[in-house]
Structure 1
Amino acid sequence: MSTVTASMFTHPLGDDAVLIPRTPEIAEAYHALLEANHRERIARWNPAADDHPPTLAQTREALVATGRAWLDGTLLPLAIAVPEEDRWRLVGTVGLRIDRPARSGEVGYWIEAAHEGRGLVTRAVAAVLDQAFGPLGLRRVELRTNPDNERSQRVARRLGFTQEGVLRQAAAFPDGRRDEVVYGLLAAEWRKE
């Protein structure tokens, strides 16, 4: 089951969801989430995903590595969770890869199909952008997606990203190369009134 009883830190996304840091403390719940969503939700859109979900040990190792990257300031790794009785149920992820010298980043995310259409991804990405353009002091954030991923493109447009182009055959999937649509958002464009 992909639930956790507590977390040292949560960031509210409203009354119905929170962001939780992806750390080894949530390994079992996070692993269950990955197993349940690997083929349809992760491998379908992420060229870095293998054909098979990771083992629990590999999930733990990956969480240790993301924790180090978080401490190094090169990654903001978060899980999206919703309340379920007295626990948090993990339903997706959002993360920001950070290039400090360039003062830029790349946001990525995915969510379980049952939780699509509730605004969770948009709110999660908005919270990450607040951090990126606030305390982290980034000047630009990029979002890349598959041309067939309409939902992801709508998230980008809803948050004010500008489509900057298509990188032809930029993503190497096991079944061949695919194009990527690149969106960009500048600090001056975020939350302007």
Structure 2
Amino acid sequence: MHAISLGDDSAELGPLEPWQAGEFLAHVDRGREFIGRFNGLPDVVTDLESSRAFLQSYAQRAAADTGRIRGIRVDGGLVGAVVLRRLDLGQGIAEAGCWLEPAAVGRGLVTRSARVLIDWAVRERGIHRVEWWVCPENEPSIAVARRLGMSKDGVLRESYLYRGKRHDEEIWSVTAPEWIRGSTAG
């Protein structure tokens, strides 16, 4: 997947690879507190070595066809990413996720980026079900799930230990037939 326009001249979705570890670390540093409210990424990516290792893990997932990461860029600068944390072709299930720097919030970047990645997973890789796991307090992420046509499947109570506290996780999903119907409607 090469860089793809997100509908305006300045925003695009493109590859994010280990050689970009310095840029990725700078991006995480700019959004560390904001991203870390609901996402463990800032606890994992703390220096250049861990940044490279994180991107390398996604390069290995891509090579094994078990996951993907794509950077969201505005005016050429990295401001966020969308991921397929899990891509299980045998079961036909993927789990999508995202994050943004605070300066990039409110522009529809995550929704447009997730739409590209989910469409690729469903149409090109044959995924039947895409999941979106989210903390119930993360209202912007829940709004994205809704805009993507996902339905709330349920809540895993106190299932996620994050920074010493147990949190609930909501699971939202869309199936391939729902996705295709929704993307061809209107």
Fold shared, TM-score > 0.5 on shorter chain:
yes
- Structure 2 unaligned blocks of 5 or more: none
| Map of 2:122 onto structure 1 | 133
Residue 21 of structure 1 deviates from its aligned partner by 1.4
Equivalent in 80, 90, 95 of residue 92 of structure 1: 80
1:47–1:171 contact (8 Å) kept in structure 2: no
Q: Secondary structure at the match of 1:107?
A: strand
Alignment of 1:175-190 (within 5 A): 175-190=164-179
Equivalence map 1:54-69=2 (5 Å): 54-69=46-61
Q: Cα distance, 1:9 vs. partner?
A: 3.1
More helix by share: 2
Q: Is residue 161–residue 185 contact of structure 1 (8 Å, CA) maintained in 2?
A: yes
- TM superposition outliers: structure 1 runs of 4+ over 4 Å: none
Size of the aligned set, in residue pairs, is 180
- Among all aligned residue pairs of Structure 1 and Structure 2, give the percentage whose two residues are the same amino acid: 36
Amino acid aligned to 1:19: L
1:84-123 aligned within 5 A: 88-96=76-84, 97-123=86-112
Per the normalisation by structure 1, the TM-score is 0.88
| Deviates most, 18-27 or 139-148 | 18-27
2:157 to 156, 165, 168: 168
Q: Alpha-carbon deviation of 1:46?
A: 1.9
CA distance in 1, matches of 2:55, 2:31: 17
Structure with the larger RCO, 1 or 2 (CA within 8 Å, 6+ apart): 1
Structure 1 unaligned regions, length at least 5: 1-7
Equivalents in 1 of 2:46, 2:165: separation in Å?
Answer: 21
